[in-house]
Amino acid sequence: MFSLDKFAQAKLAGLDARAQRRALAETASAGGAHVARNGRKLISFCSNDYLGLAAHPVIVEAAAAALRDHGLGAGASRLVTGNHPLYGALEERLAGWKCADAAMVFGSGYLANLGTIPALASEGDVIFIDELAHACLYAGARLSRADAVVFPHNDTGALEGLLAAERKRFRYALIVTEGVFSMDGDLAPLPALADIAAAHDAWLLVDDAHGLGTIAKGRGSAFAFGASPVLIPLQTGTLSKALGAYGGYLAASAPVTELLTSRARSFVYATALPSAVIAGATAALEFIAENPDVTEQPLRNARLFTRTLDLPLAASQIVPIVLRDEKRAMAASAALEDAGFLVTAIRPPTVPDGTARLRFAFSALHEEQDVLALAQAVRSRVLAA
């Protein structure tokens, strides 16, 4: 056997021992919130298609029209083949939606952070990053070669203490966090973080992947704290969740986006997105602006679920139930699947050791009876186990 295969098998054995091995399960859309898996129809509570726009006829037709008019692939990066006119419309709308001077679209939300952070920070700089920030934010910080200082989750006092102690040793500083945390569903204290950043001459970067389209009538987490948005100089996110499309973005000032057009490696060296994806995302953003009531339904469903189970009131459309042990989380997921619900077990390293969980993602597609039936199944098959 080749040494590469031996290496892989040894690693797989270790994952098996820790109940952390992943496997793909063929799953097809079955209409609305339903999916088909293993010959059964299940109600999915694990999709990030929070508004059901991935299959919405208006969005699909916009994508189909662009596909007919412009073909499938882009051919090369935007700097090589030229900037497709559909990009300008999407980036202008994104910038306006996020109250930024400009926006730029990347191949994915992961690539947006992977390109933005190293383009702005390097050796001699420092990045203060929330301990529960998404893996792509950590990956961007590592690629930057800046010093990385991890602060306790949403602990503004600890962050301020770290900045007071460390900031003066470095040239530039970034504070990096999420707007809505993808595995816990809580919101970052953005007003306090913005004040701390200003007091210490640090640049605040907020990944709002799970806030766009779901928080504050779809405007995102920066708009959740009052009549005026929190001023955030670097806002990243994705087009693949509430917008139901694909891609990522940075909303920032014009000088910053102009700099990243030349310096963000995941932008410069990546093939542009297909025109159909750009057209679909633009149509989705227009839909959200015209239908703000739809954006409130995921949170209403999440709160119905938490009230029914006497859990802490949901802050967003994401609700975790932490079961700690990986095997228990896997067994709970299987029990819910037996009851007709698809809820994926989330295990380390996606979440910290000892915090394996079920992560429930609520959408505008879920009916009240779906949510109440899920709560009953969780009460009898998970919490009582």
- If you average pLDDT over residues 59-67, what whole number do you get? 98
Number of CB atoms found within 10 A of residue 214's CB: 32
Domain locations in the chain?
23-54+292-383, 73-290
Residues forming the active site: 48, 134, 178, 182, 207, 210, 241
* pLDDT of 176 above 70: yes
Query: Tens digit of pLDDT for each residue in 339-368?
Result: 999 999 999 999 999 999 999 999 999 999
Backbone angles phi, psi at 83, to 5 degrees: -90, 115
The predicted pLDDT at position 385 comes to 80
Nearest-angstrom CA–CA distance, 241 and 264: 23
Note the pTM of the prediction, 2 decimals. 0.95
> What percentage of the chain exceeds 90 in pLDDT?
98
* pLDDT of 219 above 90: yes
The predicted pLDDT at position 355 comes to 97
Do 148 and 127 contact (CB within 8 A), yes or no? yes
E-only strand ranges, the chain: 27-29, 34-37, 40-44, 102-106, 126-130, 147-151, 173-178, 203-207, 234-238, 248-252, 318-324, 341-342, 345-346, 356-361
Query: Tens digit of pLDDT for each residue in 32-48?
Result: 999 999 999 999 999 99
Banded pLDDT at 1 (limits 50, 70, 90): low
- CATH T-level assignment (fold) for domain 23-54+292-383: Aspartate Aminotransferase, domain 1 (3.90.1150)
When the candidates are 3.40.50.300, 3.30.420.40, 2.60.40.10, 3.40.640.10, the CATH number that belongs to 73-290 is 3.40.640.10
- If you average pLDDT over residues 305-328, what whole number do you get? 97
Nearest-angstrom CA–CA distance, 313 and 49: 22
